[in-house]
Amino acid sequence: MDSLDTLRIFQRVAELGAFTRAADSLGLPKASVSTAVQRLEANVGTQLLHRTTRRVQLTADGEVFYQRSRDLADDMDELHGMFREARQLKGRLRVDMSGGLARGYVLPRLPEFLAEHPLLEVEISSTDRLVDVIREGFDCVLCGGTVADSSLVARPLGMMPIASCASPAYLAKHGTPRSIDELEGHQLVHYVGTLGQRSPGFEYFDGTGYAMRALPGPITVNSGDAYVAAALAGFGIIQPPAIGVRKLLAAGELVEILPGAPAEPMPLTLLYPRRRHLPRRVGAFMDWLAGVATPHLDPMPAPR
């Protein structure tokens, strides 16, 4: 029995939660299945499964190992069929992006992609934290902002203009600023990556470069969804990427202010692990993601 066969046995036990059911589905003796898993645990040096009289469950290490083993099995299936032009894309894709991009652009279009590739499974993580692409097993990440991790491949897609905006109710109460000086007396919804950090303030273009103006505000958030929700509730001005609030602006639920003094645009980049051979399913999905996002972005600036 080779290593890939052993992985598939372990995966089936984990998925069915029982050695007997896994053995029946694979057409193998229960003893062979149990022995294969025991040898796998010995080889990797950790317990992968909790065994009770009623159920078999993954340990914490087993959960991590199971997720990575699925990716490996998918890659092996693709490797075996790499010279068959008509072979359908198959396997799991795991991607991370902001909730606004997922909800407003990717998920509404995803049925089209899966209709073309029905054997694919897509896992979408929508967080505002910086995920560990390699350790957490992500195939790619749609990242807004400056890219700092040089261990990943970066594929720039374009620039996201920033929209300074607030709710109609807030502006009715505090007035609509027509210049930076008229921001005096206004409030900002503060966004930080980690609670406890200090918000830099309101960013704007002063004619020669980008500057900050400190503004007070009663609420600080560390989530993009909460950031927009706080503005809709009338807590103050926000400066999100326009791509994430375009529909709210069009519906009049948010109103743009100071369009002549915009904040610095933010790059949107596809990040993915360095691999000698990129799986076809990952390349196809990233091309599709780029096609979904790029029409809503400004071009990248020319290199200096």
Predicted local confidence at residue 203, as pLDDT: 95
pLDDT tens-digit map of 196-218: 888 889 999 998 999 999 999 99
Classified by CATH at the fold level, domain 165-256 comes out as: D-Maltodextrin-Binding Protein; domain 2 (3.40.190)
How far apart are the C-alpha atoms of 44 and 134, rounded to whole Å? 19
CA-nearest of 65, 46, 48 to 57 is 48
Token pair belonging to 282: 């990952």
CA-nearest of 155, 159, 105 to 298 is 159
Predicted local confidence at residue 87, as pLDDT: 63
How far apart are the C-alpha atoms of 124 and 226, rounded to whole Å? 19
Whether 91-158+266-296 and 165-256 share one fold: the answer is yes
Query: Would you kindly state where each structural domain of the chain is located, as residue ranges?
Result: 3-76, 91-158+266-296, 165-256
In sequence order, what are the residues at sequence separation of 6 or more whose Cβ sits closer than 8 angstroms to the Cβ of residue 229?
none
How far apart are the C-alpha atoms of 143 and 64, rounded to whole Å? 24
Q: Is the pTM of this model over 0.75?
A: no
Residue 272 in contact with residue 143, Cβ under 8 Å? no
Predicted local confidence at residue 180, as pLDDT: 94
CATH of domain 91-158+266-296: 3.40.190.10
Alpha carbon 40 to chain centroid, angstroms: 32
Predicted local confidence at residue 276, as pLDDT: 63
Predicted local confidence at residue 220, as pLDDT: 95
> What burial letters (b/e) apply to 1-40, b meaning 16+ CB within 10 Å?
eeeeebbbbbbbbbebebbebbbeebebeeeebbebbeeb
Classified by CATH at the fold level, domain 3-76 comes out as: Arc Repressor Mutant, subunit A (1.10.10)
Helix, strand, coil shares of the chain, percent, nearest 5, are: 40, 20, 40
Predicted local confidence at residue 257, as pLDDT: 96
pLDDT tens-digit map of 119-162: 998 999 987 777 888 777 788 999 888 877 677 889 999 999 99
The phi and psi torsions of 99 (rounded to 5 degrees) equal: -60, -35
Predicted local confidence at residue 274, as pLDDT: 76
The residue ranges of the chain whose pLDDT is under 50 are 85-86
